A = this chain, B = another copy of it.
Amino acid sequence: MVNVGIIGGAGYTAGELLRILVWHPTVNIAFVQSTSHAGHPITDVHKDLLGDTNLVFGEADYSAVDVIFICSGHGKTKAFLEQSNLPNDLYIIDLSTDYRPKNNDGDFVYGLPELNKESIETASRIANPGCFATCIELGLLPLAEEKQLSEEIHVNAITGSTGAGQNPTVTSHFSWKNNNVAVYKAFTHQHLAEITESVLQLQPDYSKAINFIPVRGNFSRGIMATVYTDCEWSLEEAKEKYQSYYSEHPFVSISNVIPDVKQVVNTNKCVLYLEKHGDKLMIVSVIDNLLKGASGQAVQNMNIMFGLNEKEGLGLKPVGF
């Protein structure tokens, strides 16, 4: 049994962790820390867990756990680690951006299992990747592994609303977002840094631009990225290389038909699809931003760190519709 604690238990990614972990067969949830909701049942905030758990938000007790998931929000983990007197042997999985850069000062391993599984197996601290980053990197890794990247990469990715968190804003207002789409942070999205680092980890000589246009979609969950770049492989070669690259990675599938984003919603899966047009290879990549793009991947990392089956607790029923 792995004893886990959650820091910052009232947010979206914490809620999603709880939805997974209450059913995880080898996990015991020892505490769900929340400053703002301490003393209240977690079902006051995560109402859909009514009937599934009687957990109450409380204080952190590090002596009771093997691992903590930090869900406090971007920019807060570093201060948290400095202020908390954490046991040396406590495992940490951080869902924020703070320690994702390779040269972080905390010995955090970038927790994309399809890139770094061996390092994750022996790591005690994981920086869980970003949602856009996960979706796009999974589309590019086989190309970088084979040093096939030579020209600029063109990415357009549309994300569900939960990617922006629970804070109510103008663009999270239903009356605005319903039936609506809009571009944001074009060419400048903060996930470009980790995408670039992951590509360079496999193909250090790649030096062209990755042009990335993020789009706010009018759905709750999911990301669909379309990626294309010049590639010498035929479509058949490309499919073989992708199949081969992901053959040991149970959450990534190559589809022979165009995938849609809902196909992976409420699962930890990534579905990839390839087309070749002239010199261009197009990759479509779909994930659930809260699962493979956040909390599901965090549990996948935990499974790997603790020597469990990578899929344990992640056999999730897709929503389908």
Contacts and interface: CB of A to CB of B under 8 A. Distances in A.
Contacts of A177: 174, 178
A216 to B, nearest CB: 8
A2 interface: no
Interface stretch (A26-34, A122-130, A162-170): A162-170
A271 interface: yes
A48 B181 contact: no
A277 B290 CA distance: 30
A255 to B, nearest CB: 6
A16 interface: yes
Nearest to A170: B168
A298 interface: no
A284 B183 contact: yes
B181 A174 contact: no
A187 B16 contact: no
A282 B179 contact: no
A20 interface: yes
A264 B19 CA distance: 12
A261 B181 contact: yes
Contacts of A258: 182-184
Total copies of this chain within the assembly: 4
A85 interface: no
B175 A220 contact: yes
Interface residues on A, range: 35 or more
Contact of A188 (B51, B262, B264, B277): B277
A257 interface: yes
Given A172-B175, A178-B178, A282-B186, A317 B156 contact: no
6 contacts: A52-B318, A161-B321, A182-B259, A213-B226, A217-B217, A220-B321
Given A23-B317, A266-B266, A266-B317, 14 more contacts: A51-B252, A52-B318, A161-B321, A172-B174, A174-B176, A174-B178, A176-B321, A179-B179, A179-B220, A180-B262, A182-B224, A182-B259, A217-B218, A220-B321
Interface of A: 12, 15-16, 19-20, 22-23, 46-52, 154, 156, 158, 160-162, 166, 168-170, 172-184, 186-188, 209, 211, 213, 215, 217-222, 224, 226, 228, 250-253, 255, 257-267, 269, 271, 275, 277-278, 280, 282, 284, 290, 315-321
